[in-house]
Amino acid sequence: DAGITQSPRHKVTETGTPVTLRCHQTENHRYMYWYRQDPGHGLRLIHYSYGVKDTDKGEVSDGYSVSRSKTEDFLLTLESATSSQTSVYFCATTDRGRGMNTEAFFGQGTRLTVV
């Protein structure tokens, strides 16, 4: 899995609690992404990062925040978890720039259940 580690792998949390998911990479890739995967939707981009402390919103960013204080770590935080955020979360990295190869490497996912 190209040196991408997600933690935790499984999480059950209660509605209203904060949750942080971590993505750690050893590839020194500049770009990192957080996706969620739900039945019938494929993968949807939550947030992405194009460098340390440089992040931007994806198509489903409401209720999520991210931080990237160093190249290898990208954190996804649910400030106050809701049942609609029950999903499988994937982190991905690329070394792409515009016009370059955009092949992304994915972690193995985190299954989050909000009860």
Binding residues for another protein, rule: CB under 8 A, are 1, 9, 31, 37-45, 48, 50, 58-59, 88, 90, 92, 96, 98, 101-111
- Our CB check for another protein shows the closer of 9 and 12 to be 9
Q: Quick check: 77 and 110 in contact, CB under 8 A?
A: no
Q: What is the number of other CB atoms lying within 10 angstroms of the CB of residue 62?
A: 8
- Our CB check for another protein shows the closer of 38 and 79 to be 38
CB of 89 to another protein, least distance (A): 8
CB of 47 to another protein, least distance (A): 11
CB of 108 to another protein, least distance (A): 4
Instruction: List Cβ neighbours of 114 (8 Å cut-off, separation of 6 or more).
Output: 12, 13, 14, 15, 81, 82, 83, 84, 85, 86
